[in-house]
A and B are shown apart, each in its own frame.
Chain A
Amino acid sequence: MEESEKSSQSTISSFQVFSIHVCRGLALAKPENCSYLKAISRGLLGLPVGALLNALGALALGAPVGLQYFERTISWTLLMSSLTFVPTACVYGSCWTDWHRIFACTKPKGPLDFMLCLPAHGAVIGAWFGAWPMPLDWERPWQDWPICVSYGAVGGYVAGMVGSLALALMRTGGKQLKAE
């Protein structure tokens, strides 16, 4: 019972997060002269693609395979996708150069890139660390498959957000100082 409840919770939260992201993506995308509609459709397209990639990564790292885990894995991947993929998809669409710059090389330029790059990396690293308690024998309900990983992802995401905000402020502050 509890498990199904948890998984439905995480589904709901993933959709909430998704909507938040679309909004944020819209806000960010505005200066790029993109229409909102385009950004939303990019985000919607990015969601399943990101979910697929995240699922592959999680399976490679040892996520359990099996029908009983299927639903949970799907909701987790949707959450992860909306934390990592959707914002970038909203902003940059399918431009390979930008994706490559942000995700493969981690060389963000400008506050916009920071806002995309740091939270996404934070979410992935947080999820990675979140998986650590899973094999332990504490017999807690939250040790089940996607729960602690999701907590870790959200935690890392928040940390990334804060970090990117701080960095962006520092950058702008530094620029202003230089300008003065």
Chain B
Amino acid sequence: MAPLTCTKLSVITITGVIIQIIGLSLFVFGFFPVKPALPGTSGSESFYAPTCDFVGNLSDTTLPSDQLKSLYQELSGIPPSFDRLILMVIDGLPAEFVLGKNGKPPNKQFKEGMPYTQSLLASGSAIGYHAKAAPPTVTMPRLKAMVSGAIGGFLDVAFNFNTQAMMDDNLLGQFFRIGWKMVMLGDETWIKLFPRLFERHDGVSSFYVKDTVQVDQNVSRHLGDELWKDDWNLLILHYLGLDHVGHIGGRSSVLMVPKLKEMDEVVKLIHSSINQSQGNRRGRALLVIVSDHGMTENGNHGGSTYEETDSLALFIGLRNHVFDYAPVIKQIDIAPTLALLFGVPIPKNNVGVMIREAFDSLKEDQHLRALELNAWQLLRLLHAQLSGLPCRNFPCDAFYDHQSSDSSECNHTTENMLCCLYMEAAALYTSWKSKRGFESSSNKDYRSTAAAYYKFLKSASEWLSRRTTDKPVKVLVLGLATMFISSVMLSNLMFCRLREIYHGGKQQASNLNDSMNGWSFDETFIISVVLILVTCMTSSSMVEEEHYIWYFFISTFYLLLLRKTAQSLSSVGLQSSFPMQKGKSGEGYFRICCIFLLLISGRILRGWHQGGVNWTSLPDISKWLEQAGSQYVKPLQLISAILVISIGLFALFSIESKGKYFQMVRLIFLISGLLVLLHITRYQDFTFSSTNYGATLLVQIIYAILGATTIGTVVALPWLIPLSTSKISPTDNTISPPFFPSIQEKFPLVEFRDSLYVIGWAYILCWCLLQLLLQQPINTTPILLLLLQTVASVLYFLRSGTHHKEWVEIAGFYYLGMAGHFALGNSNTLATIDVAGAFIGISNHSTFLSGILMFVITYASPMFILLSLVMCISTKSMAHLVIPEKENAGDLLMMMLGFPCLVPLVINSILLTAYTVVLLLMQNHLFVWSVFSPKYLYVCATTVCTFIGVFIVAATGSYTYFVLAKRKQKACTRVYSTCSS
């Protein structure tokens, strides 16, 4: 086989990456459909039984709104129970705060926080439900679910920050069509979802997470006016403050109870105004208090734990009803309930079931009629989703042909079962209607009919909401195949490189250590990590607790290194005649110290956040510190920050150079470090932070300085570094073996390594400072520990020289980065993404910028490791790998950059492809949306992170190299020309 050249290598790598990107995007768009929905909106046809020809409703749309309203009323046969609706959304309020959990009353402080609401609940005039929200528990998809009754696609999360107008059939559109006037106060997501529907609106942005006061005042300031006015039919209030309180301080934040009190005051105000206006021209009003989602103990949301999905639905104004403990409904049940109560057609894609208690005040026939309407709507949806619905030629034939549905047909498939249930209910309803005149059996029949209807509705709703949508199998397979090809390409490339270096060069390298050529235990381990990880990812529990795997692997890896060091340690001790024995065993002890540092800091990192899903309640260091109070957290944070900055500056100073430019780089990093410290001490308050102009400005200045310095260093350093034959090398590189003089003459190796060293540290320092600024205060110490771990492993590998193959080192680094990812508190649920940090230093709302910041915060550790690879490369001495006879520029570059770029790409592509297969296999698993899909999003983001990191490494390396080579060439020709002249 022809040897790989640098061009060939890079071309194949780039092709592989591009193919992988294409495959990944094919798969993602195939697997996460944006949202499958029935087109159009429900009209008057929804009050007739489903028939074959759905063309009767075209005339509806042209009707003026008041005529349409009376038409609907006439057709539905249910007089609307209310004239006005007040929908109060309290963002992020867990139902547990109001209704308690498992039949127990809520926490005492929360109960006392909402005295008025609790009294309403106790007297029965408010009916409360635990409304189970579907994941992802993020505001926009939840709002859509509440108004349309449909369960949105998973990728709605991605669009949460890019809200677009809602085109599907929904309650607000239906209300608008019958001429309702609507007013919206609060979260501007509503205005983006329904741009032209509101008569008046005052939107507040949900993006300033640190503001907990002004957001709600901006809603409440209009409340008095609006309640007094009588021109609206629907008033939407969306309070964001409680969610913000949660994001900042978690469930048990000191701000929580005052916020609940504030909400209680609002409820009291609205309820008393409803009571006053009872019976006058403003009409009967229904107050519905809902929350879009709950929150975890830390106040985050997005996942599917009980804490996050436990949202509230509270109806005030219905017939009194006291529960022993609040029943559980689904959040989507709110939509059909409201539609039927207010006499509009149920939205077309609704999957919800009307709430029983809401119709208590209706007469029996009206109640059954409402059930029938809901059943018809669900049947239409079922029919659309199941073209083979075997309901006896449904919908063309008559329904009442129930003799033909044999009982044997009933139990075969879900479709048959649903069909049977429907037929049964419909038959009971007809017989009830025919017997209505006779008083005798009417009540019993009514009850059994209602029960049959509910049974059908419940099971149909269950089936529809669980049903995974049809996926384009071809696209998925194509995407998977493309990803597979690219990972095979990349791994093949890496094995070619391995063979070339470690086997092709065997003759020359015979003087090297034995372990260079043998297949040693740590290499087997590195490979088995990937295999074990892939196997573990098929289990949902292991996906939830993935961090344990990484911690376990990384510490096992270090223990193996320890063993290896011990091996070499006394093999020197045995050959006591060896002249360099003393120095070498000193080296060994130094390496052992490095490993102990790695192990200890790894253990502390592991204990810092109790991540995952099942064991989050166990004590960990961060909880312990937070309980101890900010007087402990703050000094710790400051000390860690100062240590991080001084380690970085020390490393930058350790290179001895005279150039003015170096001094400037150091000075600027010192200044920005001081600015970050200033920000920490002055603005990063622990619980009470608000949008502060000074803070934002300071952060923006820091961003600008860091960005300019880093880019400036990268671009200018190769041009400015003094070219000379004298040795300039990092101080910790004193034991580098002598270079081949010919290489040193031809290639600017020393300068190359020096500039990569400085650039690498510039990257590291810049990234660390950014993290100090953005991460939560509690995460400052983990950043310090991560930095220590990186430095320790670089030193370890530097000192161990050729004991380890380079790819093992790089893979070790990559694993270290993944373990650090979880040590910073991340997990495989969307709930742990730090939303609050994503708005630091952003003065006006920008989805793009806060998205980038969120990525920077979440992928702090993997990116950090990839960036530190630049520094790692510079400490390696590649001289022993260069084959003197065929030295050329490309080969050298390939030696330096080959593995640092290939190894992360290969590991990541194998994991990505394997996980894609897992996701495909698990697509009917119960936890596919709650466990496997979020994990897949994380895997995709890790892929992006790896691409970016590798690109930075490769680009920096090649740019520096080519600039230096050009300068060297010029210098050489100048020397020659002076000689010849």
Contacts and interface: CB of A to CB of B under 8 A. Distances in A.
B545 A136 contact: yes
Nearest to B539: A136
B536 to A, nearest CB: 9
Interface residues on B, range: 20 to 34
Contact of B555 (A62, A65, A97): A62
B567 interface: yes
A65 B603 CA distance: 10
B606 A104 contact: no
Interface string A51-83: 000000101111001100000000000000000
Interface string B536-560: 0001011011001001100110110
Contact of A96 (B545, B558, B570): B570
Contacts of B573: 96
A161 B612 CA distance: 38
30 contacts: A60-B555, A60-B600, A60-B602, A61-B559, A62-B548, A62-B552, A62-B555, A62-B603, A62-B606, A65-B607, A96-B570, A96-B573, A97-B570, A97-B574, A100-B567, A100-B570, A103-B563, A104-B563, A104-B566, A104-B567, A105-B571, A128-B556, A135-B545, A135-B548, A135-B614, A136-B539, A136-B541, A136-B542, A137-B541, A137-B545
- Give the one of B539, B573, B602, B603 with max A CB within 10 A: B603
Given A136-B541, A137-B541, A60 B599 contact: yes
A100 B556 CA distance: 19
B928 to A, nearest CB: 17
Interface string A96-115: 11001001110000000000
Given A60-B555, A137-B544, A100 B566 contact: yes
Contacts of A97: 570, 574
Nearest to B567: A104
A100 B567 CA distance: 7
Interface in A8-24: none
B570 A104 contact: yes
Contacts of B599: 60
Contacts of B545: 135-137
Contact of A59 (B539, B603, B612): B603
A21 to B, nearest CB: 23
B226 to A, nearest CB: 48
Contacts of B619: 66
B314 to A, nearest CB: 33
A154 to B, nearest CB: 20
Given A100-B566, A104-B570, A137-B614, A61 B552 contact: yes
Interface in B550-587: 551-552, 555-556, 558-559, 563, 566-567, 569-571, 573-574
A114 B574 CA distance: 22
B224 to A, nearest CB: 50
A60 B603 contact: yes
A18 B552 CA distance: 28
A136 B539 CA distance: 10
B976 interface: no
B820 to A, nearest CB: 15
A123 interface: no
A105 B567 contact: yes
A105 B563 CA distance: 8
Contacts of B571: 105
B693 interface: no
A26 interface: no
A82 B84 CA distance: 78
A131 interface: yes
- If over half of A's interface residues share one DSSP class (helix, strand or loop), that class is named, otherwise mixed; here it is loop
A135 B615 contact: yes
A100 B568 CA distance: 10
B590 to A, nearest CB: 18
Contacts of A65: 607
Interface string A15-42: 0000000000000000000000000000
Given A62-B606, A96-B573, 18 more contacts: A57-B559, A60-B599, A60-B602, A60-B603, A62-B548, A62-B603, A104-B563, A104-B567, A104-B569, A128-B556, A131-B552, A135-B542, A135-B545, A135-B612, A135-B614, A136-B545, A137-B545, A138-B541
A68 B206 CA distance: 44
Interface string B516-553: 00000000000000000000000101101100100110
A135 B549 CA distance: 9
A62 B551 contact: yes
- Give the one of A59, A65, A103, A135 with max B CB within 10 A: A135
Contacts of B607: 65
Contacts of A100: 566-567, 570
Nearest to A96: B570
A28 B566 CA distance: 27
A137 B555 CA distance: 23
Contacts of A138: 541
A160 B151 CA distance: 55
Contacts of B539: 136
Contacts of A135: 541-542, 545, 548, 612, 614-615
Contacts of A104: 563, 566-567, 569-570
B556 A61 contact: yes
B767 to A, nearest CB: 27
A66 B548 CA distance: 18
A66 B613 CA distance: 21
B555 A61 contact: yes
A62 B556 CA distance: 10
Contacts of A57: 559
Contacts of B548: 62, 134-135
Contacts of A136: 539, 541-542, 545
A163 to B, nearest CB: 18
Smallest CB-CB A-B distances: 3 pairs: A135-B545, A135-B548, A137-B614
Interface in A117-140: 128, 131, 134-138
Contacts of B614: 135, 137
B792 to A, nearest CB: 14
Contacts of A61: 552, 555-556, 559
Contacts of A137: 541, 544-545, 613-614
Contacts of A128: 556
A103 B562 CA distance: 12
Interface string B710-745: 000000000000000000000000000000000000
Nearest to A131: B552
Interface in B614-646: 614-615, 619
A96 B607 CA distance: 35
B625 to A, nearest CB: 15
Interface in B243-289: none
Contacts of B603: 59-60, 62
